[in-house]
Amino acid sequence: MNPSFPNPSLPDTERRNWLIATSAAGGVAVIATAVPFVASVTPSERARAQGAAVEADIGDIAPGGSKTVEWRGKPVWIVRRTPEMLAALQGQEAALADPTSARDQQPAYARNPARSARPEIFVAVGICTHLGCSPTAVPLGSANPSVGADWHGGFFCPCHGSTFDGAGRVFKNKPAPSNLEVPPYRFLTDTRLLIGEDGPAQA
């Protein structure tokens, strides 16, 4: 078991609160039509909401650790995988629905078994491809009965039981129809990532 494997998902309660908050904000904007909503939003906040790329410092993510950043209102996980976590991606192909990621769920530079531009850095949108719940990280060797005894580490969606490996590849016979989405991204340096913008994968 790798106890340092991260839990990069946003807690369900946070996600729920966020949805409630944004719904409430939308209602206020409709009622208060005399005061344009955009007037209270700074240019940088507007750009962010419209999908501007987001820069993330990844230098502080320890091996096996992770962080979550927001891009286009979605949680994006950044995981620094260990050699053990990378090794655990192998040998499960027969159990995966789309092991080679033939379906278009990632940029071309992430269409490989690790689903990443650099194997040790995994970047994915932390939203289940079934109905949009937030999966939870479950470490290698976990005793969690929801994932079965032969668990190599990955993500579990508690809403309807979909499971994903450590590269976000969905297992067969689960409600989620496809692998977790990998957003466009590029390395600005070894320690800074730009999420939301394609480009050379290596700095």
Should residue 130 be labelled a site residue for ligand FES when binding is judged by CB under 6 A? yes
Catalytic residue among 46, 103, 160, 172: 160
Say whether 160 is catalytic. yes
Nearest one of 21, 55, 18, 49 to 187, comparing CA atoms: 55
Should residue 175 be labelled a site residue for ligand FES when binding is judged by CB under 6 A? yes
Residue 46 or 160: the one with the smaller Cβ distance to ligand FES is: 160
Give me the sheet containing 66-71, strands edge to edge: 66-71, 74-80, 121-125
Nearest one of 111, 118, 122, 105 to 166, comparing CA atoms: 122
What tokens does 58 get? 């990844």
Count of residues of this chain found to bind ligand FES when the rule CB under 6 A is applied:
12
| Minimum distance from residue 91 beta carbon to ligand FES (Å) | 24
How far apart CA 13 and CA 54 sit, in angstroms, is 24
| Minimum distance from residue 90 beta carbon to ligand FES (Å) | 25
| Minimum distance from residue 50 beta carbon to ligand FES (Å) | 26
Nearest one of 146, 168, 188, 149 to 66, comparing CA atoms: 168
Among 66, 82, 101, 162, binds ligand FES (CB under 6 A): 162
Which spans of this chain sit near ligand FES (rule: CB under 6 A)?
128, 130-133, 157, 159-162, 175-176
Residues that are catalytic: 160
